[in-house]
Amino acid sequence: MLPDRKFFEKLADAAAAETLPRFRSGLDVDNKLSGGFDPVTEGDRAAERAIRALIGERYPDHGILGEEHGAEGLKRECLWVIDPIDGTRAFISGVPVWGTLVGLYHNGRATLGMMDQPFTRERYFADGERSHYSGPGGPRVLKTRGCHALEEAVMFTTSPRIIADQLQNSYDRLEARVRLARYGTDCYAYCLVAAGFVDLVVETGLQPYDIGALIPIIEQAGGVVTTWQGGRPEDGGDIVAAATPDLHEAALSVLNA
């Protein structure tokens, strides 16, 4: 039996107990790169440890892939995919658009997923059939917006400056076609696609833990998530998330022209 929503919420609460006290606290920041800047904090590490401890206690036969503490059991039937703070740059800047991502792959397919933003008290969860929101404004089932044309679309990317160099021209062609392009918000933008406020998210170079929890949230709200080549996104890579199949097809056509 797959985990239920209550267990995901237990994981979110455990992570929040580590991240919230450190948010806007002036905590120390480490850089994971010798060239460039890829920040990590003790909040990232502690939140992932808390999540992994609960999974190991309840589901010792499951595999885990986390950003901060590595992988175990990658070939197991159930694989947890964890990013304890997606949007660490936002986290260290005091901007509340980061989130804790916890996804579950079943036989290699992203099936369940949660994004929790504890500062704003917003939680997005895909239960295997539908996607749900809880937070300010009350709970609701999520549905993507019926946007079918690029000229009507609102598109997000974390930053056009981190699009892979060889793909920059393709991205620029797409940005020139959409109604509105906005930057930032990391995982939050994908949840806004599921919620019907954003129509496209386009990024490059993602890891599985960057996207794994978000795949079912978007798909179970009626959206489409693939690589730029139209393949399954569970392994990460260059990713397109769209509100509708028509919009997705139009975006891929421009990106691969």
What's the one-letter identity of residue 36? G
pLDDT tens profile 118-133: 999 999 999 999 999 9
- C-alpha closest to that of 257 among 198, 176, 203, 180: 176
Q: What is the pLDDT of residue 250?
A: 98
pLDDT at 39: 64
Structure-token pair, residue 146: 């019926």
Coil, helix or strand at residue 26 = coil
**In this predicted structure, what is the pLDDT of residue 26?**
75
Buried b (16+ CB within 10 A) or exposed e, 123-136: bbbbbeeebbbbee
Question: What CATH number has the domain spanning 150-255?
Answer: 3.40.190.80
Q: What is the pLDDT of residue 37?
A: 47
Q: What is the pLDDT of residues 13-71, one digit of tens each?
A: 999 999 999 999 877 667 654 556 456 788 899 999 999 999 999 999 999 999 999 89
What does the pLDDT look like over 135-176, one tens digit per residue?
999 999 999 999 999 999 999 999 999 999 999 999 999 999
Q: Tell me the longest C-alpha to C-alpha distance in the chain.
A: 50
Domain covering 5-141, topology: Fructose-1,6-Bisphosphatase; Chain A, domain 1 (3.30.540)
Q: At what angle do helices 42-58 and 5-19 cross, to 10 degrees?
A: 150
Kindly report, as residue ranges, where domains of CATH 3.30.540.10 are found in the chain: 5-141
